[in-house]
């Protein structure tokens, strides 16, 4: 039995509060205005921002895997952050990377109370070898991959003989250090030490001692002894090793959920060489960036760039793959281009990878695990899900992002009119086309007198149309519904004089030409947490008449296991079907961030 602990307690200077307050003043849940006030991207604030640190502790259910399996993990965030502002980061980025730094799989996971858990599916065609699970927050990208956490993994592909590349310590681009540990007061109570195959197993885990630790939260796993989870590595350990010189303020934290950031570029600067004439500031006028979330669960988001051309916008915590339409809008209709930051760190940094070998006992364990993966596919048809399906709520899908419109007109109820102008004049009360100085505008009449102070938001299938002539040229034959919101529509600090949304028959934006410099992007949204599996595919959960074999490689995984001082917590599971030695392992943190580890071994005969 081993009981170990490390302690990590940091304090935060009040000097960063000015930056934190500035940041909180510009970032909202769905939109941000970085132009009307001082920007947090101001280089003069970088020294203050550099004093905000985050570190990740990440633990996996084991260290030895077979291709196509699920890597389950638990992660917690520690650091120096402005406590008064609430959580600094609410999204964790987790990736499976090769020793050469290539990203092979990954996902975004919600951080709640500085805790996240989930799972990553191992690609089926990886070569056998050494890999890493690396985790970080968007804020940590300001210091680079040297500060991320790394968990070494060994992955086996029984279908391929080729091995992944080996990288020596002297060839690696980073020096990894093991997180140090110390002894603590937690132990598994005495148990019989051996069990029969398929027999119920029960033991207690007890937190005791005279220290000030009253409770612990962590993860509990039961795995083959030869597949015991690896130690946690950090590129740099401790805030004293991070200087302001290593910090580059390129990313703001995901404080209110997932976000997209980037910059705008005015081609005129490069085409006319205005940088050399000192006219960059004149060229960096604020641009609006419109985002439309496509599909049934649509959404609309808008933000403005700052004096440095930077922007950030929050997105809803959806799951799965999303499609976003991005459309910039500049003052005076000047051409502007948008550059979206990659949501995952694209850095490819070489990591140490020793020669991939297995001992005789490890080879036996790997053979059994590989057989279990194959049997699981044969008997159940699939592997445990890495993520839940996105929720399907027909009521939610039916409501547009602007809510219920004030007026909705079904054009099929009326004689087809030749132009959209005649549709508004004859069929849509409260909307009047006006022509002033050879320019057509749409005026929405409402009981709210302030509506006339702002231009309406014109949309087709909830996608903004910035060119009035293009909007009015749409054929009514392609439109089924006209929705009108007769009130001021507010998005962050931006206001619109109502909303007019045309819903096309084919949901194809009525076939209009997309504006210059607009584009679609595929966006990987959040991955929901993988539920703990107290007894996955055990004999108790299966019909005994089916005679399905035990295909578990992880026999117990509880990502959020809590302990109170002096209160024994019962650990129960079903013993494996294969004889051998098995490990029961607890890893967690106390209230001060100290890492506590406790383990015991039992045998199946």
| pTM confidence score | 0.86
Task: Decide which of 512, 543, 574 is a domain's last residue.
Answer: 512
DSSP state of 299: E
pLDDT in the model for residue 93? 97
- CATH number of the domain enclosing 490: 2.170.130
Name the residue among 97, 108, 193, 212 with its Cα closest to residue 153. Answer: 97
- CATH number of the domain enclosing 133: 2.60.40.1930
State the pLDDT confidence band at 589, using cuts at 50, 70 and 90.
confident
Q: Are residues 18 and 158 in the same domain?
A: yes
Look at the block and give the residue holding tokens 């993520």. 387
Q: Which two tokens stand for residue 365?
A: 């364990």
Asked whether the beta carbons of 28 and 16 are under 8 A apart, the reply is no
How would DSSP label each residue in 208-246? -SSSS--EEEEEEEEEEGGGPPPPPEESS-SGGG--GGG
Ranked by mean pLDDT, which of 129-133, 292-296, 335-339, 543-547 comes out on top? 129-133
Residue 65 in domain:
yes
d(CA 261, CA 339): 9
Q: Are residues 470 and 366 in the same domain?
A: no
Q: Are residues 383 and 484 in the same domain?
A: no
Residue 491 in domain:
yes
Look at the block and give the residue holding tokens 């650990």. 571
Q: Are residues 363 and 446 in the same domain?
A: no
182 pLDDT exceeds 80? no
Task: Decide which of 489, 512, 535 is a domain's last residue.
Answer: 512
Exposed / middle / buried, residue 15 (Cβ in 10 Å: 0-12, 13-18, 19+): exposed
Look at the block and give the residue holding tokens 């220290």. 211
Chain CA centroid to CA 165, Å: 29
d(CA 589, CA 115): 11
d(CA 88, CA 253): 6
Residue 359 in domain:
yes
Which helix (H) or strand (E) covers residue 47, if one does?
helix 46-49
pLDDT in the model for residue 15? 42
Q: Which two tokens stand for residue 69?
A: 């399996």
Expressed as residue numbers, the domain containing 53 is 2-183+224-244+347-387
Residue 576 in domain:
no
**For residue range 333-385, what is the model confidence (pLDDT) as tens digits?**
788 899 999 999 999 889 998 888 999 999 999 999 999 999 888 877 665 65
How would DSSP label each residue in 346-391? -------B------HHHHHHHHHHHHHHHHHHHHHSS---SSPPPP
pLDDT in the model for residue 109? 94
Q: Beta partners for 482?
A: 409, 502
pLDDT in the model for residue 47? 82
CA distances from 350 to 98, 215, 353 (A): 8, 39, 9
Q: Are residues 380 and 474 in the same domain?
A: no
* Domain total in the chain: 2
Residue 487 in domain:
yes
Out of 98-102, 315-319, 397-401, 575-579, pick the least confident: 397-401
Q: Are residues 378 and 505 in the same domain?
A: no
Handedness of CA 167, 169, 174, 175 (dihedral sign): positive
Asked whether the beta carbons of 514 and 294 are under 8 A apart, the reply is no
Q: What 3-state class would DSSP assign to 303? A: strand
Handedness of CA 466, 469, 470, 475 (dihedral sign): positive
Q: Are residues 495 and 367 in the same domain?
A: no
End-to-end Cα separation, the chain, in angstroms? 20
Name the residue among 262, 380, 394, 385 with its Cα closest to residue 320. Answer: 385
**For residue range 79-93, what is the model confidence (pLDDT) as tens digits?**
887 765 678 899 999
d(CA 288, CA 553): 51
**For residue range 146-175, what is the model confidence (pLDDT) as tens digits?**
899 999 999 999 998 899 888 888 888 888
Q: Which residues contact 529 (CB under 8 A, 6 or more apart)?
A: 109, 110, 116, 117, 118, 559
**For residue range 3-50, what is the model confidence (pLDDT) as tens digits?**
333 333 333 344 444 455 445 444 434 444 444 456 778 888 888 888
Q: What 3-state class would DSSP assign to 261? A: strand
Residue 604 in domain:
no
Q: Are residues 359 and 459 in the same domain?
A: no
How would DSSP label each residue in 517-586? T-EEEEEE-B-PPPPPBSSTT-TTTS-GGG------SSSEEEEEEEEEBTB-EEEEEEPPSS-EEEEEEE
d(CA 465, CA 470): 8
Q: Are residues 379 and 420 in the same domain?
A: no
d(CA 531, CA 509): 40
Q: Which two tokens stand for residue 487?
A: 């009130």
Give the pLDDT mean for 222-245: 71
Q: Are residues 380 and 447 in the same domain?
A: no
State the pLDDT confidence band at 225, using cuts at 50, 70 and 90.
very high
Name the residue among 258, 255, 303 with its Cα closest to residue 52. Answer: 255
Q: Are residues 376 and 409 in the same domain?
A: no
More confident residue, 152 or 399: 152
Handedness of CA 426, 429, 434, 439 (dihedral sign): negative
Residue 52 in domain:
yes
Task: Decide which of 339, 357, 387 is a domain's last residue.
Answer: 387
Q: Are residues 470 and 356 in the same domain?
A: no
State the pLDDT confidence band at 68, using cuts at 50, 70 and 90.
very high
Asked whether the beta carbons of 142 and 247 are under 8 A apart, the reply is yes
Asked whether the beta carbons of 497 and 453 are under 8 A apart, the reply is yes
**For residue range 255-275, what is the model confidence (pLDDT) as tens digits?**
888 999 999 988 876 555 555
Residue 489 in domain:
yes
540 pLDDT exceeds 50? no
pLDDT in the model for residue 276? 47
Name the residue among 239, 206, 318, 248 with its Cα closest to residue 596. Answer: 206
pLDDT in the model for residue 210? 61
d(CA 463, CA 161): 51
d(CA 494, CA 365): 60
| In the chain, % of residues over pLDDT 90 | 45
Asked whether the beta carbons of 395 and 406 are under 8 A apart, the reply is no
């Amino acid at each position: 039995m081993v009981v170990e602990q490390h302690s990590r307690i940091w304090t935060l200077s009040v000097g960063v509060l000015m930056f934190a307050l500035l940041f909180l003043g510009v970032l909202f849940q769905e939109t941000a205005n970085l132009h009307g006030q001082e920007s947090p991207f101001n280089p003069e604030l970088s020294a203050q921002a550099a004093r905000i640190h985050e570190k990740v502790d990440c633990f996996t259910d084991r260290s030895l895997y077979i291709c196509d399996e699920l890597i389950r993990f638990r992660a917690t965030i520690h650091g120096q952050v402005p406590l008064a502002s609430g959580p600094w980061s609410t999204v964790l980025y987790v990736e499976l990377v090769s020793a050469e730094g290539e990203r092979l799989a990954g996902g975004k996971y919600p951080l709640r109370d500085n805790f996240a858990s989930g799972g990553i599916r191992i690609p089926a065609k990886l070569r056998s070898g050494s890999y890493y699970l690396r985790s970080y927050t968007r804020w940590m990208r300001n210091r680079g991959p040297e500060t991320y956490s790394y968990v070494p993994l060994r992955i086996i592909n029984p279908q391929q003989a080729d091995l992944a590349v080996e990288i020596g310590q002297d060839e690696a681009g980073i020096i990894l250090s093991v997180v140090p540990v110390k002894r603590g007061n937690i132990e598994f109570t005495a148990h019989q030490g051996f069990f029969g195959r398929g027999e119920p197993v029960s033991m207690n885990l007890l937190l005791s001692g005279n220290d000030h630790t009253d409770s612990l939260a962590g993860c509990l796993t039961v795995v083959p002894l030869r597949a015991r989870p690896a130690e946690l590595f950090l590129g740099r350990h401790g805030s004293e090793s991070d200087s302001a010189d290593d910090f580059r303020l390129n990313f703001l934290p995901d404080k209110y959920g997932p976000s997209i950031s980037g910059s705008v570029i005015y081609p005129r600067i490069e085409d006319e060489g205005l940088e050399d004439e000192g006219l960059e500031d004149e060229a960096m006028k604020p641009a609006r960036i419109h985002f439309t979330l496509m599909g049934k669960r649509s959404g609309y988001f808008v933000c403005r760039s700052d004096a440095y051309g930077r922007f950030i916008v929050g997105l809803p915590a959806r799951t799965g793959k999303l499609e976003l339409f991005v459309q910039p809008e500049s003052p005076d209709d000047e051409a502007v281009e948008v550059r979206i930051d990659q949501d995952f760190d694209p850095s490819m940094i070489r990591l140490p990878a020793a020669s991939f070998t297995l001992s005789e006992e490890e080879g036996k364990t790997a053979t059994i695990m590989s057989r279990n993966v194959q049997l699981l596919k044969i008997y159940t048809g699939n592997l445990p899900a890495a993520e839940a399906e996105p929720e399907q709520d027909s009521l939610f899908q039916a409501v547009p992002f602007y809510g219920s419109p004030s007026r909705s007109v079904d054009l099929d109820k009326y004689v087809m009119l030749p132009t959209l102008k005649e549709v508004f004049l004859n069929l849509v009360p409260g909307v009047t086309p006006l022509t002033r100085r050879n320019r057509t505008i749409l005026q929405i009449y409402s009981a709210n007198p302030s509506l006339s102070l702002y231009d309406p938001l014109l949309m087709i299938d909830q996608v903004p149309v910035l060119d009035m002539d293009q909007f009015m040229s749409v054929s009514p034959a392609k439109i089924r519904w006209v929705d009108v919101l007769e009130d001021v529509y507010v998005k962050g600090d931006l206001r619109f004089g109502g909303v007019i949304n045309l819903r096309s028959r084919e949901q194809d934006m009525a076939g209009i030409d997309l504006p210059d410099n607009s584009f679609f992007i595929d966006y990987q949204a959040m991955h929901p947490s993988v539920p703990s599996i107290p007894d996955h595919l055990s004999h108790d959960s299966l019909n005994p008449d089916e005679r399905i074999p035990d295909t578990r490689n992880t026999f117990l995984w509880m990502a959020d296991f809590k302990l109170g001082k002096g209160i024994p917590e019962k650990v129960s599971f079903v013993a494996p079907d294969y004889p051998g030695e098995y490990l029961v392992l607890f890893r967690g943190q106390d209230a001060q961030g100290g890492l506590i580890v406790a383990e015991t071994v039992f045998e199946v005969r």
